[in-house]
Amino acid sequence: MSQVLGKSQPQNGDDGDEEEEEEEELVGLADYGDGPDSSDADLDSGAEEGVLDFSDPFSSEVKPRILLMGLRRSGKSSIQKVVFHKMSPNETLFLESTNKICREDVSNSSFVNFQIWDFPGQIDFFDPTFDYEMIFRGTGALIFVIDSQDDYMEALARLHLTVTRAYKVNTDINFEVFIHKVDGLSDDHKIETQRDIHQRANDDLADAGLEKIHLSFYLTSIYDHSIFEAFSKVVQKLIPQLPTLENLLNIFISVISSFPAVKYVLFSVLSLKEDGAGTPYDKESTAIIKLNNTTVLYLKEVTKFLALVCFVREESFERKGLIDYNFHCFRKAIHEVFEVRMKVVKSRKAQNRLQKKKGATPNGTPRVLL
Ligand SMILES: Nc1nc2c(ncn2[C@@H]2O[C@H](COP(=O)(O)OP(=O)(O)OP(=O)(O)O)[C@@H](O)[C@H]2O)c(=O)[nH]1
């Protein structure tokens, strides 16, 4: 681990082959269909991209970092594989222990754009080569996984140490505790375990005079939807546009609900796609399907990653022009929200490049040392 961290820090500003090799070894970039035509593609190009740049002051703002931490065998890698690689839960039985930090970029939607860092079981905060300050500084959320089927006293001690260290460096981190593997517990046992862990973790913080640190708790298992729900909540907290999007949807629904429509669903297109298969989905995508029960299903593209599906009564569908007009306004507003983000990201990247140029000579030696 120390070797990984030592190499990945751009201490001498060398962006050369050595780092690129390290990146390949470390980072299993998942292909979520975010190809070169991605709206983010132009932003994600550039020599410094893809390098584990802990010291990049803007990187956390561009792609929030989510850390997965916890004791060995608590289930960290399984969570990542099941949620982001569609691995079946049973296959996780054969996962090997992680022995270095693995970073993965998740760029599979216009909202969800973050990095996950899966840590090896035990991290030694006293190891001088492990620069936890740099890691925590750029972190948006720290997920601490506790195996609920095991004796969790050691995990609680570790949670306390991790949280207090992280908080000292960065008070803005969201601390998320996954009480994991609850599929092995009865319903009563689940509630009791959550209560006990909640109580002990908060008591430890209070004893240390740190009651202001807020921990969120989730009961999770890779064997049901609970892990998806929990991860979704963690990610949602990191989406700055979320309240605006919710407002837009509410406005859209209040306008359009003058029609006796049954339902509106905003779909993530990727959840419609089987792994590896190409998606026949673009700007022109639209579908009108007459369902048996006098209802029409109407699908339209919103963004590369989102489709709006309306279930409308057949008689209301005669006023399709009006539905289309409302949809057009909704779509335009959504695009405007993300244009703002693109502009911010672009200007930060430009600023970042400028700073790097100022800070180092072409061969990477910091100017201050010359
Ligand atoms: N019953 C149950 N088992 C799980 C669950 N999640 C993970 N496991 C099992 O827990 C074991 C350890 O999982 P890993 O994902 O390798 O754990 P890890 O925390 O990444 O371990 P290290 O890499 O050693 O730090 C595997 O056998 C998984 O199948 C769960 O929700 N329920």
Distance 222 CA to ligand 1 centre (A): 9
Given a cut of 70, whether residue 189 has pLDDT beyond it is yes
Which pLDDT band holds residue 313 (cuts at 50, 70, 90)? confident
Q: Are residues 229 and 250 in the same domain?
A: no
- Using the predicted structure, report yes or no on whether residue 151 has a pLDDT greater than 50: yes
264 and 206 in a common domain: no
The number of distinct structural domains making up the chain is 2
- Among 209, 115, 113, 112, which residue's Cα sits nearest to residue 168? 209
Residue 63 contacts residue 348 (beta carbons within 8 Å): no
Same domain, 227 and 173: yes
131 lines ligand 1 (CB under 6 A): no
- The residue written with tokens 């584990």 in the block is 52
CATH code of the domain containing 314: 3.30.450.190
From the alpha carbon of 118, which atom of ligand 1 is closest? 20
- Residue 233 falls inside a structural domain: yes
Domain shared by 71 and 133, yes or no: yes
Is any ligand 1 atom within 6 A of the Cβ of residue 73? yes
Confidence tier at 12 by pLDDT (50, 70, 90): very low
272 and 297 Cβ atoms separated by less than 8 Å: no
177 and 123, same domain (yes or no): yes
Ligand 1 center to 76 CA (angstroms): 6
Instruction: Show which of 208, 238, 268 is a domain's final residue.
Output: 238
Q: Is the CB–ligand 1 distance for residue 81 below 6 Å?
A: no
Largest CA distance in the chain: 77
The reported pLDDT for the residue numbered 232 is 87
Q: Is 228 in the pocket of ligand 1 (CB under 6 A)?
A: no
Q: Report whether pLDDT(260) > 60.
A: no
The pLDDT-based confidence of 68 (bands split at 50, 70, 90) is: very high
Average pLDDT over residues 8-22: 35
The last residue of one of the domains, among 210, 238, 266, is: 238
The reply to whether 200 and 332 lie within a common domain is no
The model's pTM is: 0.68
**Domain, as residue range, for 298:** 241-351
User: Contact 105/63 with Cβ under 8 angstroms?
Assistant: yes
Report the Cα–Cα distance between both ends of the chain, in Å, rounded: 32
Residue 278 lies in a domain: yes
The CATH number that applies at residue 160 is: 3.40.50.300
Ligand 1 atom closest to 220 (CA):
31
143, 74 contact by CB (below 8 A):
no
Residue 221, domain member (yes or no): yes
Whether 314 maps to a domain, the answer reads yes
Predicted pLDDT at 115: 85
> Ligand 1: which residue has its CA nearest to atom 8?
75
**358 has pLDDT over 50:** yes
> Which residue, by CA, sits nearest to atom 7 of ligand 1?
75
* 85 shares a domain with 158: yes
Can you tell me the distance from the alpha carbon of 221 to that of 234, in angstroms, rounded to the nearest whole number? 15
pLDDT > 90 in the chain, percent: 32
Substitution site in 69, 73, 225 for ligand 1 pocket (most atoms within 8 Å of beta carbon): 73
Mean pLDDT check: name the lowest of 63-77, 144-158, 187-201, 299-313: 299-313
Pocket test for ligand 1, best of 78, 88, 96, 180 (most atoms within 8 A of CB): 78
User: Per-residue pLDDT for 272 more than 70?
Assistant: no
Instruction: Identify the pLDDT of residue 155.
Output: 95
User: What was the pLDDT predicted at 334?
Assistant: 81
Q: Are residues 181 and 325 in the same domain?
A: no
271 Cα: distance to centroid of ligand 1 (angstroms): 24
Alpha carbon 160 to its chain's center: 23
Residue 96 is classified by DSSP as P
**ipTM beyond cut 0.85:** yes
Query: Quick check: 349 and 43 in contact, CB under 8 A?
Result: yes
Q: Which atom of ligand 1 is nearest to the CA of 94?
A: 27
Using CA atoms, how far residue 139 sits from 16, 59, 135, 239, 370, in Å, is 26, 10, 7, 14, 33
Dihedral sign of CA atoms 53, 58, 64, 68 in order: positive
Query: What integer pLDDT is reported at residue 256 of this predicted model?
Result: 65
| 166 within ligand 1 shell (Cβ under 6 A) | no
Which segment of 81-85, 140-144, 215-219 scores lowest on mean pLDDT?
81-85
Taking the centre of ligand 1 as the mean of its atom positions, its distance from the CA of residue 55, in whole angstroms, is 31
> Does some domain include residue 309?
yes
Assigned domain for 44 exists: no
Q: Considering the domain boundaries, does residue 208 fall inside one?
A: yes
Atom of ligand 1 nearest to the CA of 145: 19
118 shares a domain with 106: yes
Which band of pLDDT confidence, cut at 50, 70 and 90, is reported for residue 240?
confident
Mean pLDDT of the chain: 74
Higher pLDDT, 127 or 194: 194
Same-domain check for residues 180 and 261: no
pLDDT more than 70, % of the chain: 70
Query: What distance lies between CA 60 and its chain's CA centroid?
Result: 12
Q: Is residue 364 part of a domain?
A: no
Token pair of 74 as six digits: 């608590």
User: Do 181 and 256 reside in the same domain of the chain?
Assistant: no
Is any atom of ligand 1 closer than 6 Å to the C-beta of 80? no
